[in-house]
Amino acid sequence: MADSAKFLEAIKTGYTFKGESFKLGCAMLDGNVVAGADVVVPFKTLNRHGLIAGATGTGKTKTLQVLAEGLSDASIPVLMMDIKGDLSGIAAAGTVNDKITERCQKLNIEFKATAYPTDLLTLSNQKGARLRATVSEFGPVLLSKILGLNDTQGGFVAMIFKYCDDSKLPLLDLKDFIKVLQFVSDEGKEELEKTYGKISTTSTGTILRKVIELQQQGADVFFGEKSFEVDDLMRINEDGKGMISIVRVTDLQDRPKLFSTFMLQLLAELYATCPEEGDMDKPKLVMFIDEAHLIFQEANDALLQQIETIIKLIRSKGIGIYFCTQNPMDVPASVLAQLGLKVQHALRAFTAADRKVIKQTSENYPETEFYKTEDLITQLGTGEALVTILNEKGIPTPLAHCMIRPPQSRMDILTDAEIDAVVAKSKIAAKYNEVIDSKSAYEILTEKLEDAAKREPEEKEKTKPAKKEKSIFDDPTVRSMTRTAGNTIVRTLLGVLGLGGRSRSRKSLF
């Protein structure tokens, strides 16, 4: 039996912060909640990113929901990637039951059923405000990384972007980019090589195949207008609560390439748009990425490096990113090292590989005299987790076996009618759901080629030699007689001048 007084003192000391904070739950010792051992999350360090991990059914999603509620109450906007489709319930008030009442009593908190201000966003044709970005906004570097191109091919993509800029050919969607690729490898090849250098047909073919592969994962619905503005993710409602934007991507589970494309573009856009903020009392935006393994499983080395770089730098912009996944090993070690808040729900040890993962996971947490971490990870109950946070000095807090508070919003999904109601009252859905098809590279080049095709017969007609009126000399017999007479006269003249006969030293001019 561990010393409960010593444990209580360690938790109180480790989880006392100067600024605003949010109570996540209470620490437990020997399977029981210790009164007064509150585990709180300081808002000041939430831009240091985090990880929520655990096996299916252990309560990860509800923990994510609880954190989103606490942030919204503190006027911090939240962005959530809803892969499984089970986060929409945050827009509706929860209902109390015996289990919730019992848990609230143990944690010494009051349950207030609350519906949180929510916007539903989508990358496809699902209900919600459409998220889009133009190919031009991606830029040649990011597009090359997503397509997995080598340096030579990436340089060619940069040349295409430069040509389009110089020629005022807007690259809005993938059909624009494909049209330009086809043009520069055929009709426009000579024109481009004069200004931009040699064009490799092999490179254009490879890039075209990679773009088509991206199209097959449904990228056409993402590229285009109207581009989403990141400021719309950072709104506070009239009651002072942070808006919770839920990106519904349930149809992207089997299209990880598109999901990672969207995520990288969004992170890059946030980083490029938001100014440097330094240390803030609370973040400007916190993003939760559910089923985070989908970002990494299709990512090449260049893409992983880009993600790692953005994760490192974006916290100075006042933005926190939280990965939610079943296995903490799904997150690359270089990214895992950047995550300050760790909430580890139960893991299951069914195989030797599982036990190895559990051992590795336990080594990622601070050492503690109160728990045997490796064993405890497999014994955590639903809605319980091992928690450690960075304090204001950047030092990890003591590891706490924490009973997490229940969400105050609905722990279930919205009905279709409720989703319609949320979208109908959205202030941004109408703005982004308008279909825009501006004149861009595809239309401009198509017109150019059609005009050229129309002019070609006319120009051929102009370059034809004019027809002469037939004369006596057009007759073949007359032409032959004339040629013979002419040769005879020339030979006679050459003989008179002493130049007749064979030349002994004649040289060809050609």
Residue 182 CB-half CA count within 13 A: 14
Maximum distance among all Cα pairs of the chain, rounded to whole angstroms: 135
Determine contact, residues 7/37, Cβ cutoff 8 Å.
Answer: yes
Q: What is the pLDDT of residues 89-113, one digit of tens each?
A: 999 999 999 999 999 999 999 999 9
| Mean pLDDT along residues 375-402 | 92
Report the 3 state secondary structure along 427-456. CCHHHHHCCCCCCCHHHHHHHHHHHHHHHH
Determine contact, residues 64/290, Cβ cutoff 8 Å.
Answer: yes
Q: What is the pLDDT of residues 276-303, one digit of tens each?
A: 987 788 999 999 988 888 777 766 677 7
pLDDT at 298: 66
- Third-level CATH fold of 8-131+229-433: Rossmann fold (3.40.50)
- Is 21 a residue whose pLDDT tops 50? yes
- Is 128 a residue whose pLDDT tops 80? yes
**435-438 long-range CB contacts below 8 Å, 24 or more apart?**
436/224, 436/225, 436/226, 437/225, 438/170, 438/172, 438/225
pLDDT at 219: 82
Q: At which residue do the structure tokens 């200004």 appear? A: 195
pLDDT at 498: 43
| Mean pLDDT along residues 291-317 | 80
Within 8 A by CB and 6+ apart from 424, the residues are: none
Q: What is the pLDDT of residues 446-484, one digit of tens each?
A: 887 777 777 656 555 555 555 555 554 455 444 444 444
- Report the amino acid identity of residue 249: V
Within 8 A by CB and 6+ apart from 354, the residues are: 347, 348
Q: What is the pLDDT of residues 409-440, one digit of tens each?
A: 999 999 999 999 999 999 898 888 877 777 77
- Is 496 a residue whose pLDDT tops 60? no
In the chain, what are the helix, strand and coil shares in percent, each to the nearest 5?
45, 15, 40
Using alpha carbons only, give the angle 289, 393, 69 rounded to the nearest 5 degrees: 35
Q: What is the pLDDT of residues 214-260, one digit of tens each?
A: 888 778 888 888 888 889 999 999 999 999 999 988 776 667 777 77
The residue extents of the domains of the chain are 8-131+229-433, 135-222
- Is 317 a residue whose pLDDT tops 70? yes
pLDDT at 245: 95
Distance CA 265, CA 261 (A): 6
- Report the amino acid identity of residue 1: M
Percent share of the chain, pLDDT over 70: 87
pLDDT at 488: 43
